[in-house]
Amino acid sequence: MTEPVAARVAVYLDFDNIVISRYDQIHGRNSFQKDKAKGLEQHSERLDQATVDVGAILDYASSFGTLVLTRAYADWSADINAGYRGQLVARAVDLVQLFPRRPTARTAPTSGWPSTRSRTCSGCPT
């Protein structure tokens, strides 16, 4: 009889959209885009109130098994994301740089994720 295999978990974070969604969750629908148009630097208190708890996300993911791969996709040159770099690196998260298609656009990380996931999971037991 074979030994049970411990669950292994890979986490892929669409970090740009996590930050935007958290901001909108706290301050109301489309608040991020409205405040960004006015200049986010004027809204530092609102940004602080909407801080993403990176540790909570990763702790929750680890409740499903051992984290073997964690990646966060975002435009890390954007100030709003750059503030999270230290936390993510301290938790062994790989930062994947994405660039917006045009200056006002969001990044589009999901287009490359299917191939990344299939390469990561090939040979994994189901």
pLDDT surpasses 70 at 113? no
Our CA dihedral for 54, 57, 63, 64, rounded to 10 degrees, sits at: -120
pLDDT tens string 47-92:
999 999 999 999 999 999 999 999 999 999 999 999 999 999 999 9
Helix (H, G, I), strand (E, B) or coil at 72: strand
Tell if the pTM clears 0.95, that is, is over it: no
Q: What is the DSSP code (8-state) at residue 43?
A: G
Residue-range domain boundaries for the chain: 8-121
Res. 120 pLDDT band, cuts 50 70 90:
low
